[in-house]
């Protein structure tokens, strides 16, 4: 709980706030989870490509910055074009206006129909952590740790809405992983990465 507390905005300062449970209490059996450390983000996008090849469902890719969003979108579109998968990739980030953002969410969640545009992948920053209820998205790739562990749990919840087996992959670069350990064990609560710290591509 000490480690988790350092990654949240809640601040568990008293044992009275902690409710203990077994690992099975927190299990989500329909989502397989994996965690890897490394900087080969373009390679990790192959998981999304494979998913789109083998399944009819959609996928999410979550990132922390617009720079990583743009790099990921370009790399993923290139991979899809190379093998002939005609799947549109949509981007959502914080610089978009509220109306534009909600329109894009509506299109991705199949509530708004646009002729000849059917995005199967949403690459997004924290701007799309909430309010997205896609009926069939079974692959979630999270590049880098978010600032708060609750955000990671929220992102994981985007999958398996229909009870189908889904995958949730978290890939963390070496530098952010080391900074995370410092946050946990040394109390560096305010350390955050900027775009300049991302040398992932």
Q: Report d(CA 164, CA 138) in Å as an integer.
A: 7
Predicted model pTM: 0.73
CATH, residue 90: 3.40.50.300
Asked whether residue 49 is assigned to any structural domain, the reply reads yes
Q: Which range of residues forms the domain containing residue 66?
A: 27-197
Asked whether residue 20 is assigned to any structural domain, the reply reads no
pLDDT digits (tens, 9 = 90+) for 157-194: 777 555 567 788 888 777 767 776 777 677 665 555 54
CB atoms within 10 A of CB 30: 14
Asked whether residue 50 is assigned to any structural domain, the reply reads yes
Report the pLDDT value the prediction gives residue 166, as an integer from 0 to 100: 78
Strand, coil or helix: what is 164? Answer: coil
Q: Cα separations (Å) of 24 from 70, 136, 162?
A: 38, 25, 21
Strands (E), 115-157: 119-124, 137-143
Query: How many folded domains does the chain comprise?
Result: 1
Asked whether residue 17 is assigned to any structural domain, the reply reads no
Report the pLDDT value the prediction gives residue 127, as an integer from 0 to 100: 84
Q: Cα separations (Å) of 69 from 1, 103, 109?
A: 31, 19, 20
The answer to whether 49 and 61 have CB atoms below 8 angstroms apart is no
Asked whether residue 111 is assigned to any structural domain, the reply reads yes
Nearest to 125 by CA among 40, 36, 65: 65
Asked whether residue 83 is assigned to any structural domain, the reply reads yes
């Amino acid at each position: 709980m000490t480690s988790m507390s350092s990654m949240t905005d809640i601040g568990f300062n008293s044992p009275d706030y902690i409710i203990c449970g077994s690992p099975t209490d927190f299990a989500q059996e329909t989502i397989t989870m994996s965690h890897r450390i490394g900087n080969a983000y373009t390679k990790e996008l192959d998981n999304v490509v494979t998913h789109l090849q083998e399944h009819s469902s959609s996928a999410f890719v979550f990132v922390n910055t617009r720079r990583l969003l743009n790099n990921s979108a370009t790399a993923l579109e290139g991979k899809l074009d190379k093998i002939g998968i005609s799947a549109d990739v949509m981007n959502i980030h914080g610089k978009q206006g509220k109306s534009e953002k909600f329109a894009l969410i509506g299109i991705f969640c199949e509530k708004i129909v646009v002729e000849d545009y059917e995005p199967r992948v949403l690459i997004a920053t924290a701007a799309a952590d909430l309010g997205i209820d896609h009926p069939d998205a079974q692959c979630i790739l999270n590049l880098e740790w978010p600032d708060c562990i609750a955000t990671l749990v929220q992102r994981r919840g985007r999958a398996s809405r229909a009870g189908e087996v889904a995958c949730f992959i978290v890939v963390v670069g070496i530098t952010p992983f080391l900074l995370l350990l410092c946050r946990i064990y040394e109390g560096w609560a305010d350390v955050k990465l900027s775009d300049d710290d991302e040398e992932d591509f």
